[in-house]
Structure 1
Amino acid sequence: MSKSNSDQKLPALRLIAFSAIAVPLAAALQPLLVFIPAFYAKDLGLSLASIGLLMLLGRLWDAVNDPIIAILSDATRSRFGRRKPWIAAGILLFGLATIPLFFPPSGTSLWVLGLALFVFYLGWTMIQIPFSAWSGELSAQYHQRTRIATYQQVISVAAMLVLLVAPTWVDQIDPGNDRLKIAVMGTMVLVTLIPCSLLTLWSVKEPPLPRPSANFEAASLGGRVQGLGRELVQGMGLIFKDPLMLRVLASDFAVVLAQSIRSSLIVFFVISYMGLPQWASAIFLFQFVFGVFAGPIWLQIGYRFGKHRTAILGELVQVAINLGLLLVAPGNLALLLALTFAQGLAQGSGNLMLRAIVADVADKNRLASGVDRTALHFSVFSLSSKLAGAVAVGIALPLVGIFGFSPKGENSPEALQALHIIFALGPALAHLVSAWMLKGFNLDEEAHTTIRQKLAERDALSTAAE
């Protein structure tokens, strides 16, 4: 990696431009988790169990793609770099799949929804994995990686905030028109996709291409396919034998599980349990207003205490907030708003720190193995997040259904109470597990600085020997 990329602090405007691709990604993700399941169930008549199953299958498909795209991206050699070509191709698939997902005709079947989800997730992976690896390569410095991740998180939260203005506005002028709400959000995704993608692709240069792995030096196509297989087995074996990476993955799985349970149930909670349908979108909007400030706050805490300690603190704060939801009674908007305010300020603290830690772990493993597998590390990290999201939807929606909750018609007090408990206690327990997994984590700033020094020394010796 060149000095300009690894040792210099990138200007704020350059980081904002580089992070722009997070706008359409965030704008599509939140409706997919929060609004689309409810819309397809209520307006198109698909069952919650079927939607949950499709979401789970889509994420499993995503899980298969993640490491393959990562290895191919790490091995790509082109005049455009090794990350940009994959991002550009992913943008095309992502945009094409957004249309049927957000603008479904009446009578849309499970098959159409499933196909759209599968193409959507493939495009998402082709963007997300190379972009994440590229982000980790922008700087070799411990705290600068947290800063880069913070910019991306703030951009994502700001995008979600702007996006959520639309359904809130629709709720006020035409309550219950979920089709219009989904269409407006889909339009925002498509309108931002091309300009934001161009900003990302052209704002920052990729670092110089490293020497290809020996597994990809075979000239024939068959040799390259075999090399792909060997690299997949060797790389995944190294990652899953690393106790530090396993702890990061487990912590991330738990935090995303918590967030996804909350996201998949919040519309039902506000409408059915709270009895406040006009606030269903506004609650999310309120949270993200304050969520914009969360990234800079936790960045400063991270500078002081380090990444893993800050992640633990953020997760424990989340535990307290979600336990507080158990005290919310139907119609008690004031307490719900107070907890939502706190949720906004604590939002994403664990995600932010864990994402910044992944590149540090990749450095440690590169020092041990001699092979740069940055994208593969991020693919496994992404895999844990996506599986957690799928498990949350695949469990939370059917679980509230088992206890008698229905998104249509009247619900018994017992069914509403079950919805309340699952909505509050599920995320609280998951956040607690996330914090516990990072206890005693030993890859801190001092340890990472030593790793980077050894990598620099080895790279210098290799260059001198050529």
Structure 2
Amino acid sequence: MTALTAIPSSSLSPLQSKGDERSGALRLIRFSAVAVPIAAATMPIGVYLPAIFARDFGLSLGMIGFIFLIGRLWDAISDPLIGSLSDRTRSRFGRRKPWMAAGAVLFTLSSIFLFFPVATVTPHYLGGVLFVFYLGWTAIQIPFLAWSGEISGHYHERTRIATYQTVVGSAALFVTLLLPALADQLRPGDGHLQMSLMGALVLATVIPGVFLSLTAFPEVPAPAGPAETLSIKHTLRAVFANTLLLRVLASDFAVTLAQSIRAALIVFYVSFYMGRPDWAAALFLFQFVFGIFAGPIWLRIGLKLGKHRTAVLGELVQVAVNLSLLLVTPDTFGLLLALTLVQGLAQGSGNLMLRAIVADIADKHRLETGEERTGLYYSVFSLAGKGASAIAIGVALPLVAWLGFDPRGSNSPQALLGLAYVFALGPALGHAFSALLLARFPLDEAAHSEIRRQLDDQPLALAPAE
């Protein structure tokens, strides 16, 4: 983890400058601990649970799709609502901590019923459990992201904080990917065992993870003055009138759309186009192994180039990798492995930098308007990524089907070539659009330093509770 401690202590905020760099690194790992249960739940919800509920519990695919769609629509309401409410919360414990603690209770209880069903799983049962699960998830994640942007006002330190969260979350995802593979070795096709192992990881880490994060840092003081009254009109204006935020949201949407198209098609691409079904899951895992090392690499680049330039560079690398996939044939599996390795090392570079930029934009908005919108801005940032993930499946799968691909039968060379083109060009276009949106982004280190200087001259509310 030495690459993660590249910022000298003299440049850190008062909270991070206490002690040596080693203790600072451990403290940030501790703060990032809540990313483990959140990441451990991401993979089952998006990949494994729908298939298990259909195969092992007898729910129809149409009903499962409808329930999960309603869950995403619920996110569209709950994410910005909780983000805005946490911005306005005033308590002796701070603004973010009470929401995370309450969310942990809901997340834990609903995880028990989701991964360890105690009754017959009906559509009403699954819908009710997911309603509470998503609410708890949001109540943890959105305030946590907002808080992570408030720990330090230092331009590069925010990148460092986001990097720790990315690396910790990637490690958790890697472990989660191993569990279904382990279950298949013990009892092939046993969905109940897969759910139990993945659920055990979530439940074993949620309470310790939330506790470690809540106790890692005191919250920063809230802005001076009373909390603003919640207004839908002002909330929408704060989002849609902020052109820099809209550029970042669109850029992250494009990045996540590209990543999700690749994830949705990789099993089909490897199994049918490459003719290597034995590598279908392993190649995804291979990419993830190198993805764990991507965060420290891009942190070092970010310290040299700044956030938006680093994001542009990362997206251009992704464009080159995905376009190079057009050169891959079933006889050049080694080339696919090499490109997958580079893909892993470039993985998440754009998301990482964009997440850190959101806090800078919130600083600029607070200086110009006096409004605290960090929680709101991180909620719509999260919502953009979730929307892109859902749309990617709704676009990529019908498109390859329209081109003639059928995962249940034989496919013509033209259909397989269409699958390969979508697998390569879809992500390449998404990453290229993301890079275009970030080109000549005006909020760089110098501009943000001036914003922070002016904000630091403003009065603060009461000091936070330890």
Task: Name the TM-score class by shorter chain.
Answer: 0.7 to 0.9
What is the SS of the residue equivalent to 2:149?
A: helix
Given candidates 10, 17, 23, the residue that maps to 2:36 is 23
Work out whether residues 266 and 423 of structure 1, in 8 Å CA contact, stay in contact via their aligned partners in 2.
yes
* 1:373 Cα offset (Å): 1.5
Q: How does 1:225-264 map to 2 (within 5 A)?
A: 227-228=229-230, 230=231, 232-264=232-264
Once the two structures are superposed, what CA deviation does each residue of 1:307-365 show, in whole Å capped at 9, x if it has no partner? Answer: 00100110111112222333444475433322221111001000000000001000000
Aligned partners of 1:131 and 1:243: how far apart in 2? 24
Counterpart amino acid of residue 192 in structure 1: T
Once the two structures are superposed, what CA deviation does each residue of 1:398-428 show, in whole Å capped at 9, x if it has no partner? Answer: 4445556555x42423554444333332222
Match of 2:348 in 1: 348
Match of 1:4 in 2: 14
* 1:14 Cα offset (Å): 0.6
Work out whether residues 257 and 389 of structure 1, in 8 Å CA contact, stay in contact via their aligned partners in 2.
yes
Given candidates 197, 211, 220, the residue that maps to 2:210 is 197
Match of 2:409 in 1: 410
Once the two structures are superposed, what CA deviation does each residue of 1:220-242 show, in whole Å capped at 9, x if it has no partner? Answer: xxxxxxx32x2x42133023112
Match of 2:6 in 1: none
Work out whether residues 17 and 199 of structure 1, in 8 Å CA contact, stay in contact via their aligned partners in 2.
yes
What is the SS of the residue equivalent to 1:443?
A: coil
Work out whether residues 171 and 278 of structure 1, in 8 Å CA contact, stay in contact via their aligned partners in 2.
no
Say if 1:410 and 1:434 are closer, same or farther in 2 by CA, change over 3 A. same
Work out whether residues 52 and 393 of structure 1, in 8 Å CA contact, stay in contact via their aligned partners in 2.
no
What is the SS of the residue equivalent to 1:4?
A: coil
Aligned length: 447
Q: List, as ranges, runs of 4+ consecutive aligned residues in structure 1 with deviation greater than 6 Å.
A: 6-10
* 1:455 Cα offset (Å): 1.2
Aligned partners of 1:127 and 1:153: how far apart in 2? 16
* 1:161 Cα offset (Å): 1.6
Aligned partners of 1:54 and 1:267: how far apart in 2? 24
Say if 1:251 and 1:47 are closer, same or farther in 2 by CA, change over 3 A. farther
Match of 1:322 in 2: 322
Aligned partners of 1:419 and 1:183: how far apart in 2? 34
* 1:175 Cα offset (Å): 4.8
Q: How does 1:128-207 map to 2 (within 5 A)?
A: 128-172=141-185, 174-207=187-220
Once the two structures are superposed, what CA deviation does each residue of 1:55-94 show, in whole Å capped at 9, x if it has no partner? Answer: 4432221011111101211111222221111111112222
Say if 1:67 and 1:160 are closer, same or farther in 2 by CA, change over 3 A. same
Aligned partners of 2:127 and 2:333: how far apart in 1? 37
Say if 1:385 and 1:365 are closer, same or farther in 2 by CA, change over 3 A. same
What is the SS of the residue equivalent to 2:98?
A: helix
Aligned partners of 1:207 and 1:316: how far apart in 2? 36
Aligned partners of 1:57 and 1:273: how far apart in 2? 34
Counterpart amino acid of residue 445 in structure 1: E
* 1:13 Cα offset (Å): 0.6
Once the two structures are superposed, what CA deviation does each residue of 1:5-54 show, in whole Å capped at 9, x if it has no partner? Answer: 48768711110000000001111112322333444455556666655554
1:313 aligns with 2:313: yes
Counterpart amino acid of residue 396 in structure 2: A
Match of 2:71 in 1: 58
Aligned partners of 1:178 and 1:419: how far apart in 2? 29
1:82 aligns with 2:83: no
Given candidates 134, 145, 153, the residue that maps to 1:121 is 134
Match of 1:421 in 2: 421
Match of 1:291 in 2: 291
Aligned partners of 2:199 and 2:435: how far apart in 1? 35
Match of 1:220 in 2: none
Aligned partners of 1:82 and 1:97: how far apart in 2? 24
Once the two structures are superposed, what CA deviation does each residue of 1:156-190 show, in whole Å capped at 9, x if it has no partner? Answer: 11111222222333445555445533432222122
Counterpart amino acid of residue 175 in structure 2: V
Unpaired stretches in structure 1, ≥5 consecutive residues: 216-226
Counterpart amino acid of residue 160 in structure 1: L
Aligned partners of 1:111 and 1:399: how far apart in 2? 32
Aligned partners of 1:101 and 1:453: how far apart in 2? 48
Match of 2:448 in 1: 448
Counterpart amino acid of residue 362 in structure 2: A
Counterpart amino acid of residue 412 in structure 1: N
Say if 1:3 and 1:425 are closer, same or farther in 2 by CA, change over 3 A. closer
TM-score in terms of structure 2 length: 0.87
Say if 1:118 and 1:272 are closer, same or farther in 2 by CA, change over 3 A. farther
Unpaired stretches in structure 2, ≥5 consecutive residues: 1-11
Say if 1:177 and 1:335 are closer, same or farther in 2 by CA, change over 3 A. farther
Match of 2:45 in 1: 32
Aligned partners of 1:307 and 1:346: how far apart in 2? 15
Aligned partners of 2:365 and 2:177: how far apart in 1? 40
